[in-house]
Amino acid sequence: MLLEFSCANHKSIRNKILFSALAGKDHTFEEKTIEFAGNRILKSAVIYGANGSGKSNFIDAISFMKNLVTNSIQYQPGRGIRQIPHKMESTEKESSYSIQFVVNGIRYAYGFSLKKMLITEEYMYYFPNGRQAKIFERDAEDFETGGKFRGKLSACRDVLKPNRLLLSCAANFSAVEEIENAFRFFDDRLIIYHPANQENWMNYSLYQMNSNPQMKSAVISFMQSLGMGVKDIVVTIDQKKLESSELPAFLSDEFKKQLLQKEMNAITAKVVYDTFETDLMQEESTGVKKLFGMLCPILDIMINDKILICDELESGLHESLVYELIKLFINEPAKKVSQLFFTTHETGLLDLGLFRRDQIWFTELNEKDRSTEMYSMAEIKNVRKDEKYGRGYISGRYGAIPMLNIDFARIISKMEWEG
């Protein structure tokens, strides 16, 4: 489970922001929380905000942390880390990232800071029996370990570089269970989705529906529950050699030659209805294709207790489909601990009884320095439990919405006059 994430000096995020999945004092919708160590953890949360307010940058900061943990072991000496500070700062100021999460019932706290595109500090603690214990603390290229781990990370000293995270090195050059569990959280449990992933997710779904009867059955059942009339999905994967006529003309002759010598997977997908069938990729709508592409990864995330962090979940999907996807997470068995956190502009979701106040978050730009601020509805005073949240958001009551009270008629009239 994800417990909290914070960062500073990352793109539009200048000062520290904190996102927390810890439930507040509100005890409504208790089924939307998970019990852990005497605390209640939210199973889902939604993030609203104006275009350009930093919603995607918040997701990007989490993605940046995940990618640096999983990939920095491969960084070559002399290569800097792609630090992207706020426009009014520079790489001379530290960019910091920290996260708390749970793996196998144990809480971990991990974080690092960058300056001048290199790592300045890094730490990891864990909480066996609920008490904090040090795994390691790092200052530049020096580090020390907690008593239990003394000598177990010695092999990392030769491979640790200013552009490599110790967690990334230790996961590859030690045999410490706690290190491996933390690394696998980033590598396998923390799933980031944005529209650029759509093709990869579709390929995964097609392969699953071709080879996994249980997954295929679950997808068809979900589609039928939406009243879509889907009777079957027939995915065929064949090996074939490309024909020269299928290759783009701009490719070099040498590259064309290499491609023509290889066998490629030829995938066809048919959606079967009562009296006809369609070609999924050529004849179905963008929304149906996205839904097919997302369902298998989402079901895998739920079955294996992973965390899905999604930028613009509603992109290409009807509001009712987004509602049903969210309900999948909310209504899963109590023993499951998968989580869904996503950004959206779909205000209709706010009035459907899906979210507690502490599950609704906002991003807003500070007018002075154009930096992102982040807060939850639970922090706003005088918001009633039975309030129409969508209406309140549109009216600007909670902030985080652009262009309120703009007189477009006056602007257009002025343009016509000047024209």
In a shared domain, residues 271 and 317 = no
In a shared domain, residues 332 and 399 = yes
CA distances for 230 relative to 176, 198, 271, 291, angstroms: 48, 22, 7, 13
The two tokens of residue 146 are 């907690």
Q: Average of pLDDT values for 198-225?
A: 87
Give 410's DSSP letter. Answer: H
Predicted confidence at residue 388, as pLDDT, reads: 75
Residue 217 included in any domain: yes
C-alpha–C-alpha distance, residues 189 and 198, integer Å = 19
Give 362's DSSP letter. Answer: E
In a shared domain, residues 153 and 99 = yes
C-alpha–C-alpha distance, residues 393 and 279, integer Å = 40
Q: Answer whether residue 173 shows pLDDT above 50.
A: yes
In a shared domain, residues 57 and 73 = yes
Q: Average of pLDDT values for 125-137?
A: 94
In a shared domain, residues 244 and 189 = no
Residue 409 included in any domain: no
Query: For residues 57 and 266, which has the higher predicted lDDT (pLDDT)?
Result: 57
Q: Average of pLDDT values for 27-32?
A: 79
Is residue 401 very low, low, confident or very high in pLDDT (cuts 50, 70, 90)? low
Residue 171 included in any domain: yes
Is residue 193 very low, low, confident or very high in pLDDT (cuts 50, 70, 90)? confident
Residue 358 included in any domain: yes
With vertex at residue 226, the alpha carbon angle to CA 221 and CA 228, rounded to the nearest 5 degrees, is 85
Q: Of 275, 303, 331, which closes a domain? A: 303
Number of structural domains (the chain) is 2
In a shared domain, residues 65 and 178 = yes
Phi, psi (degrees; rounded to nearest 5) at 183 = -65, -45
- Entry pTM: 0.85
In a shared domain, residues 270 and 395 = no
In a shared domain, residues 257 and 340 = no
Residue 417 included in any domain: no
Q: Average of pLDDT values for 225-245?
A: 80
C-alpha–C-alpha distance, residues 184 and 190, integer Å = 9
Q: Average of pLDDT values for 145-155?
A: 94
Q: Of 303, 334, 349, which closes a domain? A: 303
Predicted confidence at residue 243, as pLDDT, reads: 64
Query: Do residues 29 and 356 lie in contact, with contact meaning Cβ atoms separated by under 8 Å?
Result: yes
In a shared domain, residues 100 and 231 = no
The two tokens of residue 98 are 């920290």
Q: What is the mean pLDDT of the chain?
A: 86
Alpha-carbon dihedral angle through residues 225, 229, 233, 234, given to the nearest 10 degrees: 160
Question: Looking at residue 49, which CATH number applies to its domain?
Answer: 3.40.50
- Which range marks the domain in which residue 285 is found? 197-303
Q: Average of pLDDT values for 5-28?
A: 93
The two tokens of residue 284 are 């179905």
Q: Order the strands of the 142-145 sheet from edge to edge.
A: 17-20, 2-8, 95-103, 106-115, 118-126, 133-139, 142-145
C-alpha–C-alpha distance, residues 369 and 9, integer Å = 12
pLDDT digits (tens, 9 = 90+) for 53-87: 999 999 999 999 999 999 999 999 889 999 999 99
Query: Do residues 137 and 146 lie in contact, with contact meaning Cβ atoms separated by under 8 Å?
Result: no
> SS3 of 371, please?
strand
> SS3 of 89, please?
coil
Measured N-to-C along each axis, helices 166-173 and 55-71 cross at an angle, to the nearest 10 degrees, of 40
pLDDT digits (tens, 9 = 90+) for 90-112: 999 999 999 999 999 999 999 99
Is residue 340 very low, low, confident or very high in pLDDT (cuts 50, 70, 90)? very high
Q: Of 303, 335, 370, which closes a domain? A: 303
In a shared domain, residues 235 and 87 = no
pLDDT digits (tens, 9 = 90+) for 346-383: 888 887 778 889 999 999 999 889 999 999 988 888 77
In a shared domain, residues 178 and 280 = no
* Ramachandran region, residue 197 (left: φ > 0; alpha: ψ -120 to 50; beta: rest): alpha
* Ramachandran region, residue 49 (left: φ > 0; alpha: ψ -120 to 50; beta: rest): left
In a shared domain, residues 24 and 115 = yes
Highest mean pLDDT among 16-25, 243-252, 310-319: 16-25
